Amino acid sequence: MLICTEDNTAAATSSNYSTINNNWLFIESNNDGYVIGPASSTADHIATFTGPTGKGIKDSGKSLNDYKPK
């Protein structure tokens, strides 16, 4: 379900997307299998699990380049 929280919200474009995005609420009801990750991460880092459920991940701090043969 989408709910607009601001009257007269303009159509989204590449220049105003973040502003427009803040004017909408996205409500999900079927999220049983979703993976939950951190609020931020580093590009190209490997994600690792944070617990036994397989649904939580974290930034490992390592990239595939860290494991290449030298």
Q: What is the pLDDT of residues 17-54, one digit of tens each?
A: 777 778 878 787 777 778 888 888 899 999 999 988 88
Question: Beta-carbon neighbour count of residue 59 at 10 Å?
Answer: 14
What is the tens place of the pLDDT at every residue in 8-20?
Answer: 777 777 777 777 7
**What DSSP line would sit under 35-54, residue for residue?**
-B--S---TTEEEEE-STTS
Q: What is the DSSP letter of 67?
A: G
Task: Tell whether pTM > 0.75.
Answer: no
Q: Which amino acid is at 30?
A: N
CA-to-CA distance for 22 and 18, rounded, in angstroms? 6
Domain positions in the chain? 1-30, 32-70
**d(Cα 6, Cα 53) in Å, to the nearest integer?**
38
